[in-house]
Structure 1
Amino acid sequence: MAGIAHSEPLSVTCIALLAADALRSEVWLTPKPGLVDSVNNGSHSDMDLPLFLRSIDAITPWLHQFYALGLQDFLQPPQAMLMRIRPTGIACEQAMFGATQSVNTHKGGIFSLGLLCTAAGRISAHRQPLTRHGMCSEVAAMTQGLVERELKNCRQPSTAGERLFLAHGMTGARGEVQSGFLTLRRHVLPYWYQEDNPERRSLNALLRLMAYNPDTNLVARGGMSGLHFVQDYARRLLKSGWQKEDLQEMDRQLIIRHLSPGGSADLLAIATVLMAFPQ
């Protein structure tokens, strides 16, 4: 998929399956500290690998729909798209919850990947080549003002994201998409090919995300001290060099503390999709 440029709109199957494959690659990747992988359930008592795979199967058809909506509504201004795709996002979440008996496996992934697929549809409809820069810019344009509307103007917080913004100024997934995935563009994508082995490449990307992503999942579970513990731990491993045994020990430490960097797992899937395209 590297180096893709299209004179005709990208097949709806292509971007949606890339996104679904990225989710599958993420959940199978092992060892992932604090997260569900092929060896254990991380810090989760209500999730396991088969549950995640069922969730991804339920989500995949809706990823096609996000891309199709981007194609269909490409003449709409970008700031109108968030409301236009929201019903699809809600339906996708309902499909996920139906497959997981109401366990939230991929709500953050649906939000970010849905926007990315929509962005790809809009760019393809304009007969423009799909690039990392172009897709990130389109996601930022579609979500301009989102943090202000949904977090800064919130007077009575009812969700974890709203409460974390009020308490700590953290913008979570909303801030990441509004910035055009700035954390990825700054801390992950430029270092993607530091590792030659694809598995180490993904694990290194996850470690970089744990080091630099202000992951609201960690704060929700362990407060700011939990976030700082994971960030400091990941930065030490990146500085000293790491082996799988180091990640296995980090996994044990995060499980003891009930910490799970779920936001970083979502961003790893986004990074995997973006790196299938030219810069």
Structure 2
Amino acid sequence: MSDYTKQVTLLESKLNDNKNRSLPAQLAIKALIREICLSPKPGLVDMNNNGSHQDMNFQTFIRSIKAIANGLEQFYQYGKQAAFQNNHAFLTNIRPIGLQCEQAMFTATNHINTHKGGIFAFGLLLGVIGKLEQSALSVNVQTICTEVSAICQGIVNNELKQHNSSHSKGEKLFKLHNLAGARGEAESGYLTVRTISLPIFNQMQQHGYDEELSLLQAMLHLLAHNQDTNLVSRGGLEGLNFVQQQAQKQIKQGGITHPNGCQDLYELDNELIKRNLSPGGSADLIAITWFLAQY
């Protein structure tokens, strides 16, 4: 059994211990556990090191997942209760749950942002699954993503294009480089996951590769294609281009299936740490990839 599998199994028994939690919320917790355990993740916190982060480590993420677990269940329950609201009301009324969930995270991590992007994404995904189930509609990748997209229509325009007075990082990056970040992913119905990482993950699984290698290969494809605003925030477009080019180079050689695939990932990790680059947006998409693969 690999270190990844051992750690995932251990953490699942520790963090997913609430028998009353719904299956979708349990799957979201499992997805976040897999993301933090996946190693090596270039520039990101994993089981090997803290990546390009001085203020957080593996244990910070574990405390964070534990703290937001109940909030994840609340998103799902909200979706059931709000199933017949219009899209605007659904999005408006889910926000307070997201803010409470963020507060629980910040309390557990001493004000370190470990899962803000994950809370945003899984809040939408779990809310939508609750809504679909309550409406007796089929729940699969297509229906989940179509519904998220419908609920988020206009979010980029409303929150990034027009309301740019608060000058958040996301707003600045949109203004400078037209990068829509987490909001753009949600509004597209997680197009990057559906067209890039999820097909690769499923293909690897079908070819008999284990979950760990399948996720590492999916991650490489995310690094190669995702317009990761975290990378741009730290290293400009030059930082984003560097990571994409390095990942594409590895993919051409076979990625993680190449005999030196794992070693190449370790070297890329060292390079990103040296350059202080962290593809945090792709980390969220890794978790979403595994989560959607369960549907």
TM-score, normalised via structure 1 length: 0.94
Equivalent residue, structure 2, for 1:7: none
Distance 1:79 1:235 in 2: 39
Aligned positions of 1:220-231 closer than 5 A: 220-231=233-244
**Contact 1:18–1:273 at 8 Å: present in 2 too?**
yes
2:210 match: 197
Aligned counterparts, 1:173-212, within 5 A: 173-195=182-204, 196-212=209-225
Name the structure 1 match of 2:274: 256
Identity value in percent: 49
Give the match for residue 31 of structure 1.
40
* Partner residue in 1 for 2:229: 216
- Give secondary structure in 1 for the equivalent of 2:50: coil
User: Distance in 2 between the 1:234 and 1:114 partners?
Assistant: 30
Aligned CA-pair RMSD: 1.1
Please state how far the C-alpha of 1:181 moved relative to its aligned partner.
0.3
2:50 to 21, 41, 50: 41
Aligned length: 267
Q: Which residue of 1 aligns with 2:249?
A: 236
Name the structure, 1 or 2, with higher relative contact order (CA <8 Å, separation 6+): 1
CA contact 2:43–2:51 (8 Å) conserved in 1: yes
Residue pair 1:172, 1:215 contacting (<8 A) in 2 also: yes
State the alpha-carbon separation in 2 of the partners of residues 75 and 156 from structure 1.
33
- 1:71 aligns with 80
In 1, the alpha carbon distance for the partners of 2:60 and 2:198 equals: 29
Aligned equivalents of 1:138, 1:56: Cα separation in 2: 25
Deviation at 1:77, TM superposition (A): 1.3
Looking at structure 1, the residues matched to 254 and 213 of structure 2 have their Cα atoms a distance apart, in angstroms, of: 12
Of residues 18, 27, 30, the one that matches 1:18 is 27
1:155 and 1:81 map into 2 onto residues whose CA distance is 23
Q: What do the CA deviations read for 1:58-99 (whole angstroms, capped 9, x no partner)? A: 111000000000000101112321111000000000000000
Q: Which residue of 1 is the match for residue 15 of structure 2?
A: none
Asked if residue 106 in structure 1 is aligned to residue 112 in structure 2, the reply is no
Task: Say whether the 8 Å CA contact 1:212–1:231 is kept in structure 2.
Answer: yes
- The structural deviation recorded for 1:157 is 4.5
Q: Could you tell me which residue of structure 1 aligns to residue 150 of structure 2?
A: 141
Native 8 Å contact 1:137 1:180 kept in 2: yes
**Do the aligned residues in 1 keep the contact of 2:42 with 2:51 (CA within 8 Å)?**
yes
* Matched AA of 1:34: G
Residue type at the aligned position of 1:257? R
2:73 is the counterpart of 1:55: no
Aligned to 1:6: none
Distance 2:189 2:203 in 1: 23
| 8 Å contact from structure 2 (residues 164, 171) kept in 1 | no
Q: TM-score scaled by structure 2? A: 0.89
What displacement does 1:154 show? 2.5
Which stretch of structure 1 is more off in the superposition, 235-244 or 143-152? Answer: 235-244
Per the alignment, residue 136 of structure 2 pairs with 127
